[in-house]
Amino acid sequence: MSTWKIVLGSAVVLTALWLLSPERAQKSSEPGVVELTYMGPTGPIAGATEDAVREFEAESRAAHEKDPSRPIYRVVSGQNASRNQVDDPTRFLLSVAGGTPPDVIYFDRGAICEWAAKKAFVPLDDFIARDRAANNPDAVKPEEYYPSCWAEASYNGNVYGIPTGVDDRALFYNKDLLKRAGFVDDHGEARPPRTWDDLAEMAARLSEYDENGRLTRAGFVPNFGNAWLAMYAWTNGGKFMEADGKTVTLNHPRNVEALEFMKRIYDSLGGAEKVNAFHSTFQGGDLDPFLAGQIALKIDGFWALRSAPAQYGGNFAWGVVPPPRPARELANGPMTWNGGWSLAIPATSRHKEGAWELVRFLSSRRSNQIVNAGEKQIAESKGELYLPLQRANRIFNEEQFRQYVTDNPTMDPQVAEAVKTFNDLLPTAHFRPVSPVGQYMWVRQNSAAEDAIFHKKTPQQALDDADRDVQKELDEAFSPPRGKPMTWDFFFWLYGILLLGAAVGAWWWDAKRTRSSENAGGYFRSQWRGGIICASPWIIGFIVFTGGPLLFSIIVSFCDFDIFNPARFVGLANYRKMAGEDPLFWKSLGNTLFMVLGIPLGMAVSLGIALLLNLKVRGIAVWRTFFYLPAIVPAVACSILWIWIFNPTGGLLNVALASFGLHGPNWLQDENTSKPALILMGLWGAGGGMIIWLAGLKAISEHYYEAASLDGANAWHRFLHITLPLLSPYIFFNLVMGLIGTFQIFTQAFIMTQGGPVNSTLFYAYHLFNNAFRYLHMGYAAAMAWVLFVIVLGLTVLQMKLSKRWVHYEEGNG
Amino acid sequence: MTPRRITEALLRGGRDALLRCGVYVLLLGGATIFAWPFLWMAATSVKLDREMFGDHIRFWPESPVPQPRTPYVDESRFRDLDGPRMKELLPVLESHLAQMSIWPAGEDHDAATSQTARGVYRRMQQLLPPRFWQSPSDELKAEVLKRVDEKLAADVFQKIRRCIAFGALTIRSYDFVEDQLVPSGQGASLLDIGGSARATLVPGREGRQDITELHGDFAAGDTVTLARTFTTSFPIARLHRIQLSLRPDDTWASVNALVEKGGRKFRAERPAFLSDSKWAAVTWQEPGPDDTTNKIHAWIPLRDIGPGSVTAPNEIRITLELQRNTALGAWWAKIIRNYQLTFDHVPFWRYVATSVFLVILNLAGTLFSCSIVAYSFARLHWPGRGLCFMLMLATMMIPAQVTMIPTFLIIRALGWYNTLYPLWVGSLFAGAFNVFLLTQFLRGIPRDLEDAAKIDGCGFWRVYWHVMLPLVKPTLAAIAIFTFMGTWNEFMTPLIYLSDQRLYPLSLGLYALNVQAGSSMGMMMAGSLLMTLPVIAIFFFAQKYFIQGVTLSGTKG
């Protein structure tokens, strides 16, 4: 290659690199601009909130023109896309751990406290006090908020998030159906249920079945809509935690009673399985089950009012009332619970002042007005009726509903009445307990309810178990950290000495060896420098990115380490946890072993194809392409494609099955079929192995087959006694590579199922990733990684041992 | 040859031919199964949402039909309708419906009643309890007719009648001042109609809202224009966006906006198409700061096309051009629809550029570092070589997870979190497997070749460049292909190290798209297809090296 070619080539490549350089997109072109990163639940800020943000930016620009010391803010959003920031805060945590967190985060209020306890958020009290002292017209005033909303975002006397929206729950009832079944009051109007007994009676009497005993209408389903165990427990006077926040009371007698009530209703409808089968027939939009009369009564949130009955409900009579309570509790007044979102500032944010300005603006009246105006326009351009969302700020909430509902002459009176019911419930609503284990308690109490409803446990048993688990977590959260803090000095010394020893040893060994042949020694020595320089990329890489990390990772596996605090030495605790205390470890190992089934299947498929192609067929290149292409589809694209193929209603598989009159399973949504589904998807890519088989088959000499044919062996015998033994090295290689690959399955599970349903696709590598970056149990993750290493090593050694025994190597090479 | 032997030979030949046929049938079947998901992906990427779920899901997308008239009755919706006793019920329903007074004058009465009858029959399938379907004819008919009133019929008819309808036309300033230029329902009196087709604007009502319907006949010509000069309440220089609420009629006709203001004339960069039949908003705005952000681009940019006649500071002239589509044009519009949506939702080309950027750097890094390290291991002598080679082989067995956490800490300490460095710098440090593969080949090169070069006066750099590299070109090609694939597909590393969406490579960007708009399968498939195409293209061009590479790694390893 001549010099000018090289120069030209590099120039072209460098220009291309400069043109493509992503850093160019990031650079802000204007001086004085400060970028604030806003992290919402999914994707970029859109719709009317975008208008509010635009106004915030414009105001900061105006302020900058008056006083150039003030920055111009630009809000960047859409960072760190995550399916559900609350259920899976991995992406948020990673950016915090990496040192570039968002400046403002829109976060579920129920989870604020948990992160506040870990010091992930800034307390906002000082900002609030300062604004009030300065008489800022937009100052956040805690007394304007519904007490439950404010309390839910507070922890240990500080507030960590400014509540934005709120949504409470109430009972929707179909007046026509109630009337038809004879549930009427003295005026002949439909009589909604007030007590649990009413509810139970209506649930049973309003339900209808077809001739096969399948539900065609349910009177009431406790978990349809949005009630959860929480609703029944609170309306029954139960509670989930003592006031001190240190004792969990999940198995409070009233809670148990509430769960028994839920279970009784399910049983009266024919059992939870039957009800779930009925659920799966539901559709959305104007075929919403409540509108279609498939469900007569439901407890649901305010958003459900907004989406269905308000849009399409003009054609039938419906109403909303407070959720029923047991008769003895009625005297205590109506009761519901609410949740919602809030804006918080991560503790490591680099622009806290700007972040607070944005939070304050988004909590202001002006912002609320902009959002409402924008949302209204969006709704109306789609031909929909506009209802504002409930706001946590009582003043704003009352103002906006006066403007858009009460004073709106065109508003459907049924909707107006429903809105009033919902808003009247807000001041006294309950909220989920503020606790460092709040999320876990929520997940655990609902899985306990599920267990009871499906008769896996009695309500008492289920709640006792849940109570024990959550209490243990809580105690751990309050207990002082274990172990001694580690100092890392000795690690660097150790590593330095090891490296030095290796270098000196190598030099001495080489010197000894080359001394024996004097002449050659000189020849060799002339290459030393060049050799080491040439190998230096690998040597440096090894020292920095492999050797050191290996040693570090061993040490960390004996520590408690969460990145934010210094590591603490805890001995074998992590390994003990794996063996006994972490059921998910075994679950993930089991899931991974299940996937091992896919290896022989995949090998059989690819070997089958290879055998066919080896029959001297015409157009081998074309066939090969067909079978090989699926193997090179990028994992992300492949996962997304198969999410769609596995879609229970519109996906390729079930549509194909339906054309044969079969009813396909729910695939990825069902814990029994999720792993087989992933194996099936793996089989599609099995063509990748075919190439290796083909090479192996080509290497088998024709003579063997001819000789065997002469001896009268048929095709099957020839395959069994010649092909297979001669392919055995390849079989072994594929088997081991397959096993190692199976232990690394991550991307598919992460994208397609997020480890669910019920942890059925939580594979080893995924559980490890979760521990490292979702729970920040880095020490435990390192221990898991080493166990993984031992497994891989074991498999490889086993392969080598076994292969000597029964793998047939032709002329000793493989 | 005796006849018997001929028969035997023929039989044998026949059996062989049969066997060969069987092989091809198997191959064809297998290839079909393997290709089916690809076809499904491509087919879905041009489908509308309504084609993906529902009663009758077809594999291939429906053909878009440009209609000569609007309003018209959609005859495709119940084309596949089938069910018990349909033949018996349809005529009864039709005659029953024909007597109703809900049918709009001047529209196709027969099509309306016959299609509505089918729709009502479908509704009955859902509503009528099973016992009635077994009852005698008269009873069933009576039971059905009892349930069919004008409200139900009108409701069903509403769903199959297609008509272009307009809601409000609004403009908004950068200061959030909003002007309703044409309030919903007043289009007929406020807009001047023109163009070559025959068309009228008719006020109508739908639910709670007044609307304006466009009734047109495209027999005479292809275009309808609606125009008017408006006075605005804010200075037109502050204009931010123009928004039109409309209900398309599924004819795939195009809507273009022509705007004149402040002495200039603007035209929409691309038309909006009247696909589907749900209310939607079309937004037009001039290029501004929004275009460069990673917001969801839910607007069509307006481009300056020259001087215009409207100059007053508070005046704007808006012309909407409706143009009937050809069959081919409709297909094209339908095909690009989901792709356009994908590009509007995420900065797709930015992701592609980042991925290409990373591919180039990784390729250069890997090829250089691996070949030079392999050269050193295979041909040069230095102390510790044997130890290092063994260490290198050993590292091949270490799962990436073991070093994942320390590597994260190192990257963080270097200040490289949320930059692209972690995604390519690693390639400079010679991956063990590639080095091993190259070493195997380099060792096989006879020493004489090297010595000859040295005698000719080559230093070891020149030996490396002019002797060694050319001899391992095929291996390098295989390594290049795997590096390309690895970089293009890499998901976990960007997932861990990037938080800024503007830095995402395509793999993570596609995941971000999935998070944002996962329910829109058309967009998902469009994005996945675009990500897959380059890989397939490379495979076609470099099939030889691909296969060589797989064989090498599978047999030498």
Q: Which of B44, B182, B402 to mutate to test the interface with A (most CBs of A within 10 A)?
A: B402
State whether A785 and B360 contact (CB < 8 Å).
no
Q: Name the band, by pLDDT with cuts 50, 70 and 90, for residue A6.
A: confident
A85 CA to chain B: closest CA distance, Å? 11
Average pLDDT over residues B370-375: 93
**Contacts A530 to B, Cβ<8 Å:** 376, 380, 460
**Which of B366, B401, B482 to mutate to probe the A interface, most A CBs <10 Å?**
B401
Mean pLDDT, residues B171-181:
88
- Please identify which residue in the block is written with the tokens 């009864």: B92
Residue of A nearest to B295 (CA): A44
Q: Report which of residues B214 and A285 the model is more confident about.
A: B214
Q: Residues near B313 by Cβ (< 8 Å), separated by ≥ 6?
A: B235, B236, B237, B262
pLDDT per residue over A479-510, tens digit each?
Answer: 888 888 888 888 889 999 999 998 898 888 87
- Taking residues A718-736, report their average pLDDT: 83
Cβ contact B84:B135 at 8 Å:
no
Chain A residues lying within 8 Å of B460, measured CB to CB:
527, 530
Cis? peptide before A665, omega within 30° of 0: no
- Is B510 within 8 Å of B343 (Cβ atoms)? no
Nearest to B241 by CA among B295, B306, B301, B308: B301
pLDDT 10s digits, A367-421: 999 999 889 888 887 778 889 999 999 999 999 999 999 998 888 888 899 999 9
Q: Which chain B residues are closer than 8 Å to A778 by Cβ? A: 405
Q: Which residues contact A24 (CB under 8 A, 6 or more apart)?
A: none
Model pLDDT, residue A730 = 81
Distance from CA of A476 to the nearest CA of B (A): 24
pLDDT of residue B427: 93
CB contact under 8 A, B31 and A627: yes
B36 and A652 within 8 Å at the Cβ level: the answer is yes
Contacts of B248 in chain A (CB under 8 A): none
* CA B500 to the chain's CA centroid: 23
Comparison of pLDDT for A126 and B13, the residue scoring more: A126
Characterize the bridge pairing of strands B264-268 and B254-261: antiparallel
Q: Decide if pLDDT at A521 tops 60.
A: no
**Res A287 pLDDT > 80:** no
Q: How confident is the model at residue A313 (pLDDT cuts 50, 70, 90)?
A: low
Q: Which of A260-274, A513-527, B1-15 has the lowest mean pLDDT?
A: A513-527
Pick the residue from chain A with its C-alpha nearest to B515: A83
Whether residue B401 and residue A510 make contact (CB cut-off 8 A), yes or no, is no
Please give the mean pLDDT across all residues of chain A: 87
Question: According to the model, what pLDDT value does residue B151 have?
Answer: 81
**Two structure tokens written together for A489:** 């000095």
Q: Is the minimum CB–CB distance between B416 and chain A shorter than 8 Å?
A: no
Of A83, A546, A796, the CB nearest to B515: A83
**What contacts A450, CB < 8 A, 6 or more positions away?**
none
The whole-number average pLDDT for the span B195-204 is 86
Q: What is the pLDDT of residues A439-464, one digit of tens each?
A: 889 989 998 999 999 898 999 999 99
Interface contact flag, A100 B385, Cβ < 8 Å: no
Contacts of A210 in chain B (CB under 8 A): 129-130
Q: Provide the phi-psi class of A812: left if phi over 0, else alpha when psi is between -120 and 50, else beta.
A: left
B133 close contact with A: CB closer than 8 A: no
Helix axes A125-133, A352-362, angle to 10 degrees: 70
Read off the pLDDT of residues A327-344 as tens digits, 9 standing for 90 and up. 999 998 999 999 899 999
Span A116-148, pLDDT tens digits: 888 889 999 999 999 999 999 999 999 999 999
| Cα three-residue angle B155-B156-B157, rounded to 5 degrees | 95
Max CA separation in chain A (angstroms): 117
Q: What digits encode the pLDDT tens for the residues A666-682? A: 888 888 899 999 999 99
Helix axis angle for A438-453 and A109-117, nearest 10°, is 130
The pLDDT value given to residue A509: 84
Counting residues of chain A whose pLDDT is more than 90, the rounded percentage is 43
Q: How confident is the model at residue A25 (pLDDT cuts 50, 70, 90)?
A: low
CB-based contact A637 B532, cutoff 8 Å: yes
**From the list A94, A769, A784, which residue is nearest B499 (CB)?**
A94
For residue B417 the two structure tokens come to 């979190």
- Answer whether residue B555 shows pLDDT above 70: no
> What amino acid is encoded at B144 in this protein?
V
Q: Are residues A449 and A228 in contact, defined by beta-carbon separation less than 8 angstroms?
A: yes
Q: Tell me the average pLDDT across A80-90.
A: 73
Q: How confident is the model at residue B1 (pLDDT cuts 50, 70, 90)?
A: low
Residue type for position A139: A
Q: Is there a cis peptide before residue B71, judged by omega within 30 degrees of 0?
A: yes
Amino acid A806: pLDDT: 64
Record: contact B373-A534, CB cut-off 8 A: yes
Taking CB atoms and an 8 Å cutoff, what residues of chain A touch B432?
A: 538
Q: Picking from A160-174, A542-556, A680-694, B304-318, which range would have the lowest pLDDT averaged per residue?
A: A680-694
- Asked if B539's CB is within 8 angstroms of A629's CB, the reply is yes
Q: What is the pLDDT of residue A785?
A: 95
The residue that leads in pLDDT, A600 or A564, is A600
Q: Are B247 and A383 in contact (CB under 8 A)?
A: yes
Instruction: For residues B330-344, give the mean pLDDT.
Output: 93
pLDDT surpasses 70 at A204: yes
Residue B43 pLDDT more than 90?
A: yes
Taking the Cβ of residue B21 and every Cβ of chain A, the question of whether any pair is shorter than 8 Å is answered with: no
CA distance B247 to B239: 25
Do B497 and B418 meet the contact criterion of CB atoms below 8 Å apart? Answer: yes
| CA dist., res. B334 & res. B273, Å (int) | 9
Please provide residue B447's backbone torsions phi and psi, each rounded to the nearest 5 degrees: -65, -30
Strand partners, A172: A298, A320
pLDDT of A170 over the 90 cut: yes
| pLDDT interval class at A648 (50, 70, 90) | confident
Query: Which pLDDT does position A81 carry in this prediction?
Result: 66
Q: Which helix (H) or strand (E) holds B200?
A: strand B198-206
**Least CB–CB distance from B385: residue in A531, A544, A734:** A531
Chain A CB contacts of B536 under 8 Å are: 629, 632
Please state the rounded mean pLDDT for residues B256-277: 92
**Binding-face residues of B in 169-188 toward A, CB within 8 A:** 170, 174, 176, 178, 184
When comparing pLDDT for B3 and B92, which is higher? B92
| Average pLDDT, integer, range B304-323 | 92
CB < 8 Å to A630, chain B: 34, 37-38
* pLDDT tens sequence across B103-149: 888 788 888 888 898 888 888 877 777 777 788 888 888 888 888 88
Does A813 have pLDDT greater than 50?
A: no
Task: Pick A502's closest partner by Cβ from B44, B387, B503.
Answer: B387
How many contacts (CB atoms, under 8 Å) link A and B? 406
φ/ψ (deg, to 5) at A269 = -90, 0
Tell me what pLDDT residue B441 has.
87
Is residue A523 over pLDDT 80? no
pLDDT band at B210 (very low <50, low <70, confident <90, very high): confident
Cα radius of gyration rounded to whole Å, chain A: 33
Is the CB of A382 less than 8 angstroms away from the CB of B408?
A: no
Q: What confidence score (pLDDT) does residue B235 get?
A: 93
- Which residue from A44, A97, A695 is facing B555, i.e. has the nearest CB? A695
pTM: 0.89
Q: How confident is the model at residue A285 (pLDDT cuts 50, 70, 90)?
A: low
A292 vs A274: CA distance, rounded Å: 19
Give the residue with greater pLDDT, A28 vs B360.
B360
* pLDDT of A257 strictly over 90: yes
Exposure string for A381-393, b = 16+ CB within 10 A, e = fewer: bbbbbbbbbbbbb
Kindly report the nearest CA distance between residue A433 and chain B, in angstroms.
Answer: 29
pLDDT greater than 70 at residue A24? no
Under the banding of pLDDT at 50, 70 and 90, the label for residue A810 is low
| Out of A196-205, A424-433, A765-774, B464-473, least confident range | B464-473
Closest CA to B20 of A352, A615, A326: A615
CB < 8 Å from A in window 63-122 of B: none
CA distance A209 to A520: 94
Mean pLDDT of chain B: 87
Q: How confident is the model at residue A326 (pLDDT cuts 50, 70, 90)?
A: very high
* Distance (Å, whole) CA A138 – CA A63: 15
Beta bridge partner(s), residue A318: A174
- In DSSP terms, which residues pair with A393 in a beta bridge? A145
Closest residue in chain A to residue B356, using alpha carbons only: A20
B-chain CB neighbours of A383 within 8 Å are 167, 206-207, 209, 245, 247, 279
Q: Compute the distance between CA of residue B49 and CA of residue A120 in angstroms, rounded to an integer.
A: 41
Instruction: Between A44 and B497, name the one with better pLDDT.
Output: B497
Mean pLDDT, rounded, for A32-42: 84
Beta carbons of B542 and A631 less than 8 angstroms apart: no
Residue of A nearest to B243 (CA): A381
Unique residue bearing structure tokens 């191959």: B27
pLDDT at A814 over 50: no
Closest-CA residue in chain B for A612?
A: B23
Q: Where is average pLDDT lowest: A275-289, A433-447, B35-49?
A: A275-289
The confidence band for B557, taking pLDDT boundaries of 50, 70 and 90, is very low
**Shortest CA gap B476–chain A (Å):** 16
CA distance B305 to B315: 18
- B-chain CB neighbours of A626 within 8 Å are 30-31, 34-35
Mean pLDDT of B504-532: 91
CA distance A26 to A684: 39
Whole-number pLDDT of residue A168:
92
Question: If we measure between CA atoms, which residue out of A591, A608, A597 comes closest to residue A739?
Answer: A597
